[in-house]
A = this chain, B = another copy of it.
């Protein structure tokens, strides 16, 4: 019922905030620009869109007529085909269904972005990727929560290992050591971000990374 920490819906809304898109385009965009961060399958993308549509967060809109997908040749047949077999009047050529974000969807996006916590690795990365839609205070809060979580995780692991009621197999120790090292550099990175964020708050309220144009839509 509650939003939960659904990073997929967050990403979909975040991308639709930039531009109307259909499912295939969304997935392409995700794997192209966020491919290192997350991965999405058809089996979760289309149900997610259906969910968001049912909630009223997105709605089908008329297909954009501008440059469908690198047409190369200028045959204008596409434009005519857009309004072909439209049972609902909104299916474009190739049966495309283009989605746009609604005001409710925008509100939901902000809510998920700002109010979700207890998020995992992927959820954090996704939230941070859209952090230009937060204000400085919120970014700082998120970064601090993440720092504490990693810190606690590493400490807990160290505590458990040092109890050593069992013999660790040699490769387990190898892997753990690497994970600890990864966590350390994650930690250093986050603390760097926190420092930047704090200094940018002190130097008047101007954000370093957020342009004024985007800021007003927070």
List residues of chain A with CB under 8 Å of any chain B CB. 18, 29, 31-37, 125, 128-132, 153-154, 156-157, 160-161, 163, 166, 168-172, 174-176, 178-183, 185-186, 189, 193, 209-211
Contacts and interface: CB of A to CB of B under 8 A. Distances in A.
Given A125-B175, A178-B189, 18 more contacts: A18-B166, A31-B160, A35-B160, A36-B176, A36-B183, A37-B176, A128-B171, A128-B174, A128-B175, A129-B169, A129-B171, A130-B171, A132-B171, A170-B211, A171-B209, A174-B209, A182-B182, A182-B185
9 smallest A-B Cβ distances: which pairs?
A: A32-B160, A170-B209, A36-B179, A131-B171, A129-B172, A129-B175, A36-B157, A132-B171, A35-B157
21 contacts: A18-B166, A29-B166, A32-B163, A33-B160, A34-B172, A35-B153, A35-B156, A35-B157, A35-B160, A36-B157, A36-B180, A36-B183, A37-B175, A125-B179, A129-B169, A129-B171, A129-B175, A130-B172, A132-B169, A170-B209, A170-B211
Contact of A36 (B33, B128, B153): B153
